[in-house]
Structure 1
Amino acid sequence: MERKLVIVDCDAGIDDALALILLAGAHKLNKIQLLAVTCVNGNTNVENVVNNVFRTLQTCGLADIPVYKGAYSPLLSTESARIAATELFHGPDGFGNMFIDKPDTSKLQKEHAVHALYRMVCENPGEVSITCIGPLTNIALAIKLYPDFISKVKEFYVMGGNYTAQGNITAQAEFNFYSDPESVHIFLANNIKPHVLLPWETCMKYAVDPKWKNHVFGKIDTPEVRLMDTLHEFYLNNNKGYAIHKPCDAILAAIVLRPDMATKLIEHHADIELTGCRTRGQVVIDHLESNKPNTSTVIEYDSEIFKELLILALDPENYEGDVL
């Protein structure tokens, strides 16, 4: 079986790191080919995102994976963009300011992330799965710059938004989509390729059992686990423990590796609210079914598969199962 070609577009907060570790583990086992990581402003500014991506890849022993710097701000300078920029859930630098050293970023590619995205899908037409775990600014810019960009992509996996109007940064909006809803609208209005959406509410349905984390995850001693333990210390010190046990971006990465992990999906047409004074950034679903579906929303997923994939990614040399 040919390996799935994957590009990750991320804003490198703490759960992005675990997502990258999952995909890096599969890459090292030749289950996927991680073509590149593109960086976008979101959980922190894009300079910090670059640092965090390099730190994670170097921890995984994959310092040669190409990394590209992308958009440094949302498409529009709006009040919601200002609010999102001040929501330092992952700390000022995206990694909880837990490190005093700087990672080696000398291999940062000179090409802009948006141009790199287009070039790579043109080099591999119809073969690249793009995994989006941050705001969709880079994707929207690629769509607007290159009319044939979408046609070259195989599929999209996106973590963001909601399907019952439950939010986190506001009562109605999830952070990634709220940070740049115009980009979400551009993506949803133009995408013609398969699109798996993992919304906020689905991520909140299940939690990694703290006992399992302590007695299974906690017994593994690898550089990847030590990195995540350091980052989780920030959460524990800031009373944000749910992010340890419900790591949204990592859940999406696991679905990329095992699409059958998504046990219930609903196809519908979705857009995003741009002008509502209370609902900006909320996903709007066409319940009348007057439009053709443009997304498959994950409603349920198999948390046991997720835990198995975590064990595999964090300690591949000693893993004895067959989850991949």
Structure 2
Amino acid sequence: MLPTAKSEIKMHEVEAPRNIIVDCDAGIDDALALIILLANHTTKRLNVKAITCVNGNTKVSNVVKNVFRTLHVCDCTDIPVYRGAYSSLLDTSKETASECYHGSDGFGDIFTDDPDTSKLQEEHAVCALHRITSEEPGNISVICLGPLTNLAMAIKLYPEFMNNVKELFVMGGNSTAQGNITAQAEFNFYADPESVHIVLNSINKPLWLLPWESCLKTRITHEWRRDVLGKIDKPCVHMMNIIEDSRRSQVKKHFPYYTMCDAFLAGIVLIPHMAKNVVLWHADIELNGNKTRGQVVLDHLLSNKPNVNLIHSFDSEIFKELLLNAVNTFRSVTTVL
């Protein structure tokens, strides 16, 4: 029997997760997301069990460096970091516009030094995802800020992995075929659509999806970013000012508002009711289209069981307050970046 309507989720009844793993490709917006999550780790509102790195905005070796640089400015170097997939499942070796947007190193090509990465774990990220979630089955949420390669590999290597995960929060894809890397596809999903297909067709736990178009509904001005957030004397803000300034002219040219997609998802993780108009959908991804590879395909016929909670919008004012509270958690000290 076909369902007669899509169901809207009441986000005020949804609890924020307590234990998380962050899987990221550590570009500029990943860094802001990490700062938000690390601030709440510092105040013990949540527990960041691990950060896993994946190829995406930049090579995974750069992702590792960017994660450690962010951990250093947040004074959170106790969190274990794992290096993961160095390419997509189907590596077509294509250059992407993301390399230009975030710079070749993912952080705007500003830094000439290397951060201390001596605490990088030897265990592969995919193995760590399996091990950590199996140690506390049903108690750890995974926050996905980059391509889903690590997640897909964990699913294929460990059949029990998805049973052990509590839920997934994913920034990626689109809901109306609007893209940012191609005309029809969003970067994270376009970078490894086969992984997206594996995840969407294996999921048996809640998956909260924040797509590209929803991020464009931000109403946070660049002036607020510069004159309010940017004036706070914290090491993490200094780092964000430096790496964002390297992209400033390009950002303002394309985006009238401050658009930090991964950070928006981090806000929703912490304050679920920040998400608005959340609707159950069945989603898959186009793998073969000449012009539509990487595009999310929604089942408008409602003939399949829903597999994602699609977040159509969010409250920008809640995010601003959350972000200010997060950066003010950290000490005002001079830190070498």
Q: Specify if TM > 0.5.
A: yes
Equivalence for 1:224: 236
- Tell whether the 8 Å contact from 2:166 to 2:205 is kept in structure 1 after alignment: yes
SS in 2 for 1:197: strand
CA distance in 2 between counterparts of 1:14 and 1:266 reads 29
Equivalence for 1:135: 147
C-alpha deviation, 1:208, in angstroms: 1.4
RMSD: 1.8
CA distance in 2 between counterparts of 1:126 and 1:192 reads 12
Equivalence for 2:128: 116
C-alpha deviation, 1:238, in angstroms: 3.8
Equivalence for 1:83: 95
C-alpha deviation, 1:240, in angstroms: 4.9
Equivalence for 1:298: 311
Residue 232 of structure 2 corresponds to residue 212 of structure 1: no
Q: How does 1:222-261 map to 2 (within 5 A)?
A: 222-240=234-252, 242=255, 245-261=258-274
SS in 2 for 1:218: helix
Q: Which amino acid aligns with 2:155?
A: I
Equivalence for 1:315: 328
C-alpha deviation, 1:89, in angstroms: 1.6
- Tell whether the 8 Å contact from 2:101 to 2:247 is kept in structure 1 after alignment: no
Residue 194 of structure 2 corresponds to residue 178 of structure 1: no
Equivalence for 2:84: 70
SS in 1 for 2:142: strand
- Tell whether the 8 Å contact from 1:84 to 1:178 is kept in structure 2 after alignment: no
CA distance in 2 between counterparts of 1:19 and 1:30 reads 17
- Tell whether the 8 Å contact from 2:74 to 2:236 is kept in structure 1 after alignment: yes
Q: How does 1:31-180 map to 2 (within 5 A)?
A: 31-78=45-92, 82-84=94-96, 87-180=99-192
Percent identity over paired residues: 58
CA distance in 2 between counterparts of 1:243 and 1:9 reads 28
- Tell whether the 8 Å contact from 1:54 to 1:63 is kept in structure 2 after alignment: yes
SS in 2 for 1:296: strand
Q: Which amino acid aligns with 1:168?
A: N
Equivalence for 1:267: 280
CA distance in 2 between counterparts of 1:137 and 1:240 reads 31
C-alpha deviation, 1:255, in angstroms: 0.5
CA distance in 2 between counterparts of 1:245 and 1:134 reads 19
SS in 1 for 2:176: coil
CA distance in 2 between counterparts of 1:191 and 1:93 reads 32
C-alpha deviation, 1:54, in angstroms: 0.2
C-alpha deviation, 1:195, in angstroms: 0.4
Equivalence for 2:3: none
Question: 1:80-125, CA deviations, whole angstroms, 9 ceiling, x for partnerless residues?
Answer: x513387432000000111111000000000000000000001111
CA distance in 2 between counterparts of 1:31 and 1:3 reads 9
- Tell whether the 8 Å contact from 2:16 to 2:271 is kept in structure 1 after alignment: no
SS in 2 for 1:297: strand
CA distance in 1 between counterparts of 2:251 and 2:18 reads 38
Structure scoring higher RCO (CA < 8 A, sep ≥ 6) equals 2
SS in 1 for 2:246: helix
Q: Which amino acid aligns with 1:58?
A: H
C-alpha deviation, 1:303, in angstroms: 0.8
CA distance in 2 between counterparts of 1:134 and 1:211 reads 27
- Tell whether the 8 Å contact from 2:58 to 2:104 is kept in structure 1 after alignment: yes
Equivalence for 1:9: 23
CA distance in 2 between counterparts of 1:162 and 1:125 reads 30
- Tell whether the 8 Å contact from 2:30 to 2:262 is kept in structure 1 after alignment: yes
- Tell whether the 8 Å contact from 2:31 to 2:70 is kept in structure 1 after alignment: yes
How many pairs does the alignment contain? 316
Equivalence for 2:41: 27
Query: 309-318 or 176-185: which moved more?
Result: 309-318
Query: 307-316 or 158-167: which moved more?
Result: 307-316
Query: 43-52 or 213-222: which moved more?
Result: 213-222
> In 2 relative to 1, CA 164–109 (structure 1 residues): closer, same or farther, beyond 3 Å?
same
SS in 2 for 1:82: coil
Q: Which runs of 5+ in 2 are unaligned?
A: 1-14, 332-337
With the length of structure 2 as denominator, give the TM-score of the two structures.
Answer: 0.90
